[in-house]
Amino acid sequence: MSPAPLLSIGVPVYNGERYLAEALDSALSQEYTPLEIVISDNGSTDSTPDICRRYEHDARVRSVRSSETIDPIANFSRALSLARGTYFTWLAHDDVLTSPAYASTLVEMLEANPDAVLCASALALFQDEDPKAQSILSYPRLTTGGSWRQDRLALFRWPPGEWETLVYGIFRRDILQRHFLENPSFQFPLQQLAFTGPFIVVPEPLRGYRLRQDSLGRQRMAKSPVELYLIGLKLKWRLLATALHGPAPLVERVPPVITAFSNFFKDHVAWAHDVWRQIRVLEAELAMLVGAAAAREGLIRHLGAQYQPPSTPVRPAARRRRFLSFFHRPDDADAQYLQELTVRVADARQVCRELLRVIEARDRELNEQRR
């Protein structure tokens, strides 16, 4: 039996003294043992270098420090260039691997699917200010069960919020390096990679993604509407260019080109606002919970179990349509809708848990009867 492949975990960090130890502990706690952790310190001025030195006593940890601060994406690139593993994942210094089975589960999926280039788990999104305010990002547009050529169109749709965190999945390192070095961007290597092989999504949230006030996403949100408009246009052009020049035959590139072209008729600004991003995430999660609740109620009826149907049925969100508006920022109505949506998702999760308990109890009854 061949030895398990090495997994490299790249940790780019700048002034991460508050969170870095928690991130490194979660990586070192993985059940998957053939791994290395490569820390790329972007010239931190706080106690980050001391934390790195402390962890270097573990033979699995290597740390490299810049003498000066470089562009954040260049620091991500350096972490990748230092990696030696067959597989690679980035771990942001403020995120955590919430399950010790994260690495083993995803590597096993990649080993079983040699044509896949990326495997990601659903993400548990949590607020730095309120850790209990959590939601699940499960990438439903990439997990339809249809053909990969159809599912990958989601990677070319605007806005990017649903898929941009896929960069925190586990990649085949050689393929990622080839495309990332050609096009050093968080987003667009994903589209390039989508032409080379499928992405696999594990539905369990095995990884945590922290939303905090000083994150890059929220800094981006603070830009003026005109700046966001121009950034949005630039990113849409890059999506279109990636679709036009993707490493695939012309017949395969036509649907992504059409999808990317349609983005120019969508809002150039809303993508940058966390409020709308959270709304999209919660709407997708609520849709998933509606399906799960319906399936579980059907199974309960099939098993003949006695249960009290929930007084408040799980219903999907009523999507609100907007007219094309390039300069509209989130308003009080958006904030109110987000608050209501958060409550509905929490209620739907509870209903799904209760239905699952009924199924498990009925299963135990039937097993006892068979004995």
DSSP 96-150: B---TTHHHHHHHHHHH-TT--EEEEEEEEEESS-TT-EEEE--GGG-SSS-HHH
DSSP output for 220-258 = HHTS-HHHHHHHHHHHHHHHHHHHHT-SS-HHHHHHHHH
One domain, residues 199 and 279: no
Asked whether residue 47 is domain-assigned, the answer is: yes
State the pLDDT at residue 133. Answer: 64
- For the segment 178-206, the average pLDDT, to the nearest whole number, is 86
d(C-alpha 322, C-alpha 305), whole Å: 44
CA distance 90 to 180: 13
- Burial class of residue 161 in the structure, from the number of CB atoms within 10 Å of its CB (0-12 exposed, 13-18 middle, 19+ buried): buried
Per the structure, the complete domain to which residue 167 belongs is given by 7-212
What contacts 172, CB < 8 A, 6 or more positions away?
Answer: 86, 87, 88, 110, 117, 118
Task: Decide if pLDDT at 221 tops 80.
Answer: no
Give 223's pLDDT tier (boundaries 50, 70, 90): low
The pLDDT assigned to 324 comes to 42
Q: What is the pLDDT of residues 99-119, one digit of tens each?
A: 999 999 999 999 999 999 999
The C-alpha torsion from 143 through 144 and 149 to 150, rounded to 10°, is -130
The verdict on residue 104 lying in a domain is yes
User: Using CB atoms within 10 A of its CB, is residue 87 exposed (0-12), middle (13-18) or buried (19+)?
Assistant: buried
**Is residue 167 included in any domain, yes or no?**
yes
Q: Is residue 27 part of a domain?
A: yes
Of 188, 212, 236, the last residue of a domain is 212
Query: Do 353 and 204 belong to one domain?
Result: no
- What the block records as the tokens of 284 is 């997708």
Cis bond upstream, residue 159 (ω within 30)? yes
* 35, 97 contact by CB (below 8 A): no
Can you tell me the distance from the alpha carbon of 289 to that of 287, in angstroms, rounded to the nearest whole number?
A: 5
* Residue 326 falls inside a structural domain: yes
Picking from 195, 212, 229, the residue at the C-terminal end of a domain is 212
pLDDT classification of 217: cutoffs 50, 70, 90:
low
273: pLDDT strictly greater than 60: no
Contacts of 148 (CB under 8 A, 6+ apart): 197, 198, 199
Nearest C-alpha neighbor of 95 from the set 60, 57, 124, 137 = 124
Angle between helix 225-244 and 250-262 (nearest 10): 170
| Percent with pLDDT over 90 in the chain | 45
Q: Are residues 282 and 192 in the same domain?
A: no
pLDDT at 105: 95
Which residues partner with 124 through β-bridges? 136, 208
Closest CA to 183 of 194, 197, 169, 199: 194
- Indicate the SS3 state at residue 157: coil
Does 38 lie in the same domain as 148?
Answer: yes
Most confident of the following: 44-48, 131-135, 222-226: 44-48
**308/366 Cα distance (integer angstroms):** 19
Q: Are residues 33 and 173 in the same domain?
A: yes
Which of 191, 212, 233 is a domain's end point?
Answer: 212
User: Does residue 206 sit in the same domain as residue 277?
Assistant: no
- Which pLDDT does position 88 carry in this prediction? 98
CATH number of 97's domain = 3.90.550.10
pLDDT at 354: 85
Residue 214, pLDDT score:
56
Question: Region 134-140: what's the mean pLDDT?
Answer: 80
Mean pLDDT over residues 14-26, rounded?
95
Name residue, tokens 């603070």: 222
Over the stretch 285-339, which tens digit does the pLDDT of each residue have?
788 788 888 888 888 888 888 777 777 777 777 655 554 444 556 666 776 777 6
> What is the pLDDT at residue 29?
97
One-letter amino acid for residue 192 of the chain: Q
* In a domain? residue 265: no
Q: Is 77 within the bounds of a domain?
A: yes
Burial (CB < 10 A; 0-12, 13-18, 19+), residue 344, is buried
CA dihedral 128, 129, 135, 140 (to 10 degrees): -50
- Domains in the chain, number: 2
Say which residues have a Cβ less than 8 Å from residue 346's Cβ, sequence separation at least 6: none
Judge if 15 and 154 occupy the same domain: yes
Based on the fold, state whether residues 165 and 279 are members of the same structural domain: no
User: In terms of Cα–Cα distance, which of 19, 9, 15 is closest to 39?
Assistant: 9
Asked whether residue 128 is assigned to any structural domain, the reply reads: yes
Distance CA 122, CA 195 (A): 22
Residues with Cβ within 8 Å of 84's Cβ and at least 6 positions away in sequence, in order, are 6, 8, 36
